[in-house]
Amino acid sequence: MSFHSEAQFKLALDDVRKGFWQPGLWLMLGWQDIRQRFRRSMLGPLWLTLSTGFMLVALGLVYGAIFKMPLQEYFPYLAAGVVAWTLISSLISEGCQTFITSDALIKQIRLPFTTHACRVVWRNTIIFLHNLAIIVVVMLVFKIMPSVGSVLLLAVGLLAVMLNGVWVSLALGLICTRFRDVPPIVGSVLQLVFFVTPIIWHPSLLPGRQRVISFNPFYHFIELLRAPMLNTTPAADSWRAVLAITVVGWVVTFVLLLRARRRITYWL
Amino acid sequence: MASIRLRGVHVEIPIYNTSARSLKKQLVRATTGGRIQSDHGITVVRALNGIDLELNDGDRLGLVGSNGAGKTTLLRVLAGVYEPTRGSITVAGSIMPLLDVAMGIDMDSTGMENIMLRGRLLGIDRRQLLELRDQISEFTELGEYIHMPVRTYSSGMVLRLAFGISTCVTPEIVLMDEYFAVGDAHFMRKAERRLIDVVAKAGIIVFASHSGDLIRRLCNKALWVHAGEARALGSTDEVLAQYAASG
């Protein structure tokens, strides 16, 4: 271990590499978070699944009627969208707290910062996997038979979201550790995004305004998860958009790490 | 071979949540603690000010100094937690930080579960921990409590558990903060024996403490840190005498 200011590039690279290649650590920490959060509750993370389920039933009945869409069509769409959004929004909001909540650990032991980011992503992935129970129920009720291809597509989409989740947790975690006003701002933005992104409403309800939708990065991420859950294929445009965001996001995050990684501990 | 080299290590911690300059002035007047300065309107605590240090196998360094002199900060620099804002540090050898009893301890998990949790955080792999588990539980003398949630433990028992996990492997470098030295007399003797064991297997110990007695027993060198600077470095008796004379 050696710290010279010239070595920042190598240190930042090592952080990301070692963070990823020690999955044992973040897998364990992520599970630990789930166990801690739901200790002594009988249903555990399924409590979240249940509450999401109840919210879906309420939203489905009200908005299905407002939009005058048949439940057979609207409800699966809503359920898949909300389950996808729950993962994406919690990755972003908890990403803000990546380092702040791990401050005791960060100040005691040297671990790659990427490990803490992966922990956030893994924890939320576990919750997402529990929430898939909702989708299974919806499929049973509405008699949708998922193809093997859809399951594979969902897995690939999930991996893409997770990979982006890691840079989001690193970048937002870093920024929010330094500027403590950012988490509330992110919170309000997320609320806004929920309403302007096609989650409770269908893109076909916004005729002639397709651009508003295709320029919304959240739409593409949601599509990546939602389409396979509805047994369809995400549009190629969505894949392209997500790929571009992944590359740009990681480059920006790496530059941030290069410039500020060593200061994170000082800001805690 | 374990070694530690520090050259002109500075640690400057920016404090963003104190805007009051009057507070700064008050703090500067205080005799203890690091120097506090203000650059571009941001208050900066100079926790370490150009520390040079060289340690090799067999060195057992005791850190003395008043509260806030920079002992813990120095330990954190050695642990790689704080990267120096200026200067350089080179450490060769595996590091075992015993800075905080509570690190990696989940109060709701059992002692056994915590052995795995804390052990893995300290970089010991899973298979090795599974093998060492019983040995650790024996060392802690917790008996059946090892299968109970840690929240039912007394603080001394948590300490035993934490210490047992941290010293179950032989690290090359042990960094220890003083509150690790607050077990009962029986356990302290046992802990000391184990630490001496660890040092005997060729390693470095850096131990921060207010107790001259403990430092004399455990260390062969001492460093007196004052306001983030190395005031004196030498044999334990010399340095402790100087530190005592300073009042």
Nearest-Cα distance to chain A for B212, in Å, is 25
> Helices A236-260 and A148-178, interaxial angle, to 10°?
30
Instruction: Measure the CA–CA gap between A100 and A168, rounded to whole angstroms.
Output: 15
Nearest-Cα distance to chain A for B18, in Å, is 13
pLDDT for A125 equals 97
The tokens of B52 are what?
């040079």
Question: Which positions in chain A have a beta carbon within 8 angstroms of at least one beta carbon in chain B?
Answer: 1-4, 24-25, 28, 32, 35-36, 39-40, 104-111, 178, 262, 265-267
pLDDT for B167 equals 81
Give yes or no for B113 touching A (CB within 8 A): no
CB-CB under 8 Å, A4 with B104: no
**SS3 letters for chain B?**
CCEEEEEEEEEEEEECCCCCHHHHHHHHHCCCCCEEEEECCEEEEEEEEEEEEEEECCCEEEEECCCCCCHHHHHHHHCCCCCCCEEEEEEECCEEEECCCCCCCCCCCEHHHHHHHHHHHCCCCHHHHHHHHHHHHHHHCCHHHHHCEHHHCCHHHHHHHHHHHHCCCCCCEEEECHHHHCCCHHHHHHHHHHHHHHHHCCCEEEEECCCHHHHHHHCCEEEEEECCEEEEEECHHHHHHHHHHCC
Return the residue in B19, B121, B124, B166 with the most chain A beta carbons within 10 A, the one to mutate for interface testing: B121
Please report residues of A whose CB lies closer than 8 A to that of B120: 24-25, 28
Question: Which band of pLDDT confidence, cut at 50, 70 and 90, is reported for residue A19?
Answer: very high
Closest residue in chain B to residue A2, using alpha carbons only: B90
pLDDT for A165 equals 97
**Structural element, H or E, at residue A113:** helix A113-141
Q: What is the mean pLDDT of residues A24-36?
A: 90
Closest residue in chain B to residue A265, using alpha carbons only: B82
Q: What is the mean pLDDT of residues A17-38?
A: 90
Q: What is the pLDDT of residues A199-238, one digit of tens each?
A: 999 988 887 777 788 899 999 999 999 999 999 999 999 9
What string of DSSP letters covers A119-172? HHHHHHHHHHHHHHHHHHHHHHHTT----HHHHHHHHHHHHHHHHHHHHHHHHH
Nearest-Cα distance to chain B for A246, in Å, is 29
Q: What phi and psi values does residue B67 have, to the nearest 5 degrees?
A: -55, 135
**Residue A91 near residue A161, CB atoms below 8 Å:** yes
Q: Quickly tell me which residue has 């929010």 as its tokens.
A: A176
ipTM (interface predicted TM): 0.83
Give yes or no for B88 touching A (CB within 8 A): yes
Q: What is the pLDDT of residues A56-102, one digit of tens each?
A: 999 999 998 999 889 899 999 999 999 999 999 999 999 999 999 99
Q: Quickly tell me which residue has 């595996």 as its tokens.
A: B94
Please report residues of B whose CB lies closer than 8 A to that of A39: 108
HSE (side-chain half, CA atoms, 13 Å) at A71? 13
| Between B21 and A251, the higher pLDDT residue | A251
CB-CB under 8 Å, B97 with A267: no
Closest residue in chain B to residue A4, using alpha carbons only: B88
pLDDT for B32 equals 54
Q: What phi and psi values does residue A97 have, to the nearest 5 degrees?
A: -100, 10
Beta bridge pairs of residue B13: B45
Please report residues of B whose CB lies closer than 8 A to that of A105: 103-104, 121
Instruction: Measure the CA–CA gap between A117 and A97, rounded to whole angstroms.
Output: 10
**Among residues of chain A, what percentage have pLDDT more than 70?**
98
Please report residues of A whose CB lies closer than 8 A to that of B103: 104-105, 108-109
Q: What is the pLDDT of residues B131-181, one digit of tens each?
A: 888 888 888 888 889 999 999 998 888 888 888 888 888 788 888 887 666
**Residue A3 near residue B83, CB atoms below 8 Å:** yes
Give yes or no for B117 touching A (CB within 8 A): yes
pLDDT for B20 equals 43
Instruction: Measure the CA–CA gap between B202 and B56, rounded to whole angstroms.
Output: 9
pLDDT for B44 equals 83
Nearest-Cα distance to chain B for A25, in Å, is 7
Q: What phi and psi values does residue A121 have, to the nearest 5 degrees?
A: -65, -45
Please report residues of A whose CB lies closer than 8 A to that of B13: 266
Question: Which portions of chain B are predicted below pLDDT 50?
Answer: 18-23
By three-state DSSP, how is residue A71 classified?
Answer: helix
**Among residues of chain B, what percentage have pLDDT more than 70?**
87
Give yes or no for B133 touching A (CB within 8 A): no
pLDDT for B100 equals 80
pLDDT for B22 equals 46
Instruction: Measure the CA–CA gap between A249 and A247, rounded to whole angstroms.
Output: 5
CB-CB under 8 Å, A109 with B106: no
- Other C-beta atoms closer than 10 Å to the C-beta of B119 total 24
